[in-house]
Amino acid sequence: MGFKFKNVDFLKFDSLLNEDERMVRDTARGFIEDNLIPIIEGCYREGRFPRELVPLMGEMGFFGANLHGYGCAGMSNVEYGIVMQEFERGDSGFRSFVSVQSALVMYPIYTFGSEEQKQKWLPELAAGRKLGCFGLTEPGFGSNPGGMTTRARKVGDEYVLTGEKMWITSGTIADVAIIWAKVTEEDDKVRGFLVETDRPGFKADEVHGKWSLRASVTAGLSLQEVKIPASNLLPGSGGLKSPLMCLNQARYGISWGAIGAAMACYDTALQYSLMRKQFRNEPIASHQMIQEKLVWMISEISKAQLLSLHAGRMKDAGTLTHEIISLAKRNNVWMALETARMARDILGGNGITEDYPIMRHMMNLESVKTYEGTHDIHALIIGAHITGIPAF
């Protein structure tokens, strides 16, 4: 059941995009429509990540799409954002998988890696022949990653890593984990390490029982005296700033992704409200209270589109700051979650079923609100910036 998606464009937003950007949008939209939409409800019900789509995604250049060289597509940041929007219109968990592979695994190798590390890993990750995960969060340190207790000790020409990571997307399917750890010999400086997941002492256990992001793999990682060559250190990384730079990439993508989820919910609610009749045999869309909800949604989606496009143009110009990214992530995810709740309401009882995508988006967006910095942590980041007073 459900409806065929119709483009959501109140503001003539398309006129703000160039031909390449519209082409990227159509390609990503076609990929999701043809490959993900037909299977996503089943994947969600079964708690299954649709791994079979990975090779085609690699072929189509969707991994590390805004990186240049090493087999990457070299898209602009606006084009990359549009891809995230289209992927999350399909499913937030599916977009998460791509975000992690691109922004949290390929980006740190690209930015902090040696030439040898880049040559070895980036083409494989771009093609989807290898998958990665990003281990920052720990059981006791989520919003405050600076408190991490994972350690790396330098022993001869090796590092020995010990610690626990929690809530790690793609943890059990990754070939390589980017692990952030404090280096004992460097006064506990945080640095990034490439850890092949088949190394002795490395263990990943899937988190079961999630009611959110069910089509994405989430895991806890355990590292018990895992030995890696010293050459697996990402040499350009140093300090908490390094993982936070990766988060900027992912948060920027999420700001676009959330618009996609909201578009799916709004479009479903609009089409449903025009079809569903109650009282006087008239569509529920003829009632003022339904219209007010639809207008709220399209207004907020339109504003979010402008916000992400502005952020994207700034990112392409090299002027985007992390506080603006916080504002865009926080606003757009909140907007999408509110849109999902309103859309669910408009569908009445049908809104809670898998016949329509809304409830799935709504449950997914609860995670999106929390990960990559919670809604409130982003308020504190923006608050610290405008007042000069950190209130964490």
Contact assessment for residue 320 and residue 314, using Cβ atoms and an 8 Å cutoff: yes
* Residue 10 binds ligand FAD (CB under 6 A): no
Contact pattern from residue 174 through residue 213 relative to ligand FAD, giving x for each residue in contact according to CB under 6 A and a dash for the rest? ---------------------------------------x
Per-residue binding letters, 149-178, with ligand FAD (x by CB under 6 A) = ------------------xxx---------
> Which of 292, 227, 305 is closest to 262 using CA atoms?
305
In terms of CB distance, is 340 or 381 closer to ligand TGC? 381
Spatial CA neighbour of 267 closest among 237, 242, 298 = 298
Q: Which is nearer to ligand TGC, 248 or 332 (CB)?
A: 248
Closest CA to 236 of 375, 74, 114: 114
**Known active-site residue 196:** no
Q: Which of residues 138-157 bind ligand TGC (CB under 6 A)?
A: 143-146
Look at residues 238, 261, 241 and name the one whose alpha carbon lies nearest to residue 183: 238
156's torsion region: left (phi>0), alpha (psi -120 to 50) or beta? left
Which residues, in sequence order, are CB contacts of 282 under 8 Å at separation 6+? none
Say if strands 176-183 and 151-155 run parallel, antiparallel, or are unpaired.
Answer: parallel
Residues 50/58, Cβ–Cβ less than 8 Å: no
Q: How far is the CB of 357 from ligand TGC (least distance, A)?
A: 18
The least CB distance from residue 100 to ligand TGC, in Å, is: 5
Interface pick for ligand FAD out of 76, 77, 137, 339 (rule CB under 6 A) = 137
Q: How far is the CB of 1 from ligand TGC (least distance, A)?
A: 28
| Phi, psi (deg, nearest 5) at residue 19 | -60, -40
- Positions that interact with ligand TGC (CB under 6 A): 96, 99-100, 134, 136-137, 143-146, 169, 239-241, 244-245, 247-248, 250, 322, 371-373, 377, 381, 392
Give me the active site residues, please: 372
